[in-house]
Structure 1
Amino acid sequence: MSYRLPTLCRLVLGGLLACLGTSAFAEQVGCVTTEWKLIGSNHKVCVDSFSDPKIPGVTCHVSQARTGGVSGSFGLAQDPSQFSLACRQTGPITLPAKLPKEATVFAEDTSILFKETRVVRMWDAANNTLVYLAISRKLIDGAPANSVSTVPVMPWGGR
């Protein structure tokens, strides 16, 4: 098993943010090769899962494009701002007494400097729904890439 520098950075950053209580630690579900490379790692799309650190009963999956080749193998490539997000209720949801209107629940570097995918949780009180928004810090044609998923807070298993 080989580690790319950004993967190591993601582990360290994820660990630090988890200790601070501001971000979840992702677990890789798997990757699919999208383009075979003769030298270096292949281009791929990887799926990671994470639980909302402050809302038990919510699990999110984020897929992200990962750049291969020689630069990708050494952690020097900039991954494209291409991702998708799906969040679901996977158990009973207990909302904290003071739920902030907005909070970062996941962040992952997608280049060695200044680019990341971030998932922000928002609370839509009027619809009793948790809204998860994935964004890229890199602007593309004047707007950041983004994806949204919602989790209505509902009873779970008769609760």
Structure 2
Amino acid sequence: MLKTTALKTARRALLCLLPLPLALPLHAEQVGEVGVDWVGNDIVIEAVADPEVEGVTCHIAYFERGLIDRLSKGNWFEDPSNASIACRQTGPITIGDIDRDEDGEDVFSTSRSIILKSLRVKRIYDEGNQTLIYLAHAAELADGSAKLAVSTVPLYGTEVTWKD
């Protein structure tokens, strides 16, 4: 029984490691930081440009724990999974070689803990409604996370250029 549980845990850890080399090392530019309490916890706001869709920028807001909070509550190496996202057209839209499958593709990923927890942004193209969907979600080793946020960029009525 113990051997089976250890094997399942090892297999789960290995499966979580597989996508790591595929995560895109995109640069997010911090554009804001709001202090929320006296123990140094902050809300950080970053701007991320979609690398395959010129003219679209996503703003991601997430909670970052301060030193006092880490000292008082333990769990030194992990930040909460909560995140908010808003994506908008910020210039002429030129769409490159994007994945048009239903499961979309990762646009951005950043670590939220020292071990296997990340905040990811995935783009999904809704061809029928001519809309780009951006989903922010946490990827965690154990049980995943139900904390997510979604934003859309409608393409209808917008002059869109497709790269060949």
**For residue 133 of structure 1, what is the aligned residue in structure 2?**
135
In structure 2, stretches of 5+ residues that fail to align are 1-20, 160-164
How far apart in 1 are the matches of 2:158 and 2:144?
41
Q: Is 2:99 the partner of 1:100? A: yes
How far does residue 137 in structure 1 lie from its aligned partner after superposition?
1.1
Q: What TM-score does the superposition give when structure 2 sets the normalisation length?
A: 0.71
How far apart in 2 are the matches of 1:113 and 1:132?
25
Q: How many residues align?
A: 133
When residues 126 and 155 of structure 1 are mapped into structure 2, their CA distance, relative to the original with a 3 A threshold, is: same
When residues 83 and 139 of structure 1 are mapped into structure 2, their CA distance, relative to the original with a 3 A threshold, is: farther
When residues 70 and 112 of structure 1 are mapped into structure 2, their CA distance, relative to the original with a 3 A threshold, is: farther
How far apart in 1 are the matches of 2:70 and 2:28?
20
- Paired AA for residue 150 in structure 2: V
Q: Assess if the C-alpha contact under 8 Å between 1:134 and 1:147 holds in 2.
A: yes
How far does residue 21 in structure 1 lie from its aligned partner after superposition?
9.0
Alignment of 1:27-38 (within 5 A): 27-37=29-39
Same amino acid, percent of matched pairs: 39
RMSD: 2.9
How far does residue 155 in structure 1 lie from its aligned partner after superposition?
2.3
**For residue 69 of structure 1, what is the aligned residue in structure 2?**
67
How far apart in 2 are the matches of 1:71 and 1:114?
21
For the residue of structure 1 that corresponds to 2:146, the secondary structure is strand
For the residue of structure 2 that corresponds to 1:57, the secondary structure is strand
Query: Which of residues 39, 45, 58 in structure 2 aligns to 1:60?
Result: 58
How far apart in 2 are the matches of 1:59 and 1:27?
11
- Paired AA for residue 130 in structure 1: L
**For residue 47 of structure 1, what is the aligned residue in structure 2?**
45
Q: Assess if the C-alpha contact under 8 Å between 1:105 and 1:119 holds in 2.
A: yes
**For residue 12 of structure 2, what is the aligned residue in structure 1?**
none
Deviations along 1:78-110, one digit per CA (max 9) or x if unpaired, are 1111110000001111122x4212110110111
How far does residue 36 in structure 1 lie from its aligned partner after superposition?
1.6
When residues 109 and 143 of structure 1 are mapped into structure 2, their CA distance, relative to the original with a 3 A threshold, is: closer
Q: What TM-score does the superposition give when structure 1 sets the normalisation length?
A: 0.73
In structure 1, stretches of 5+ residues that fail to align are 1-16
Larger Cα-atom Rg: 2
How far apart in 2 are the matches of 1:129 and 1:30?
28
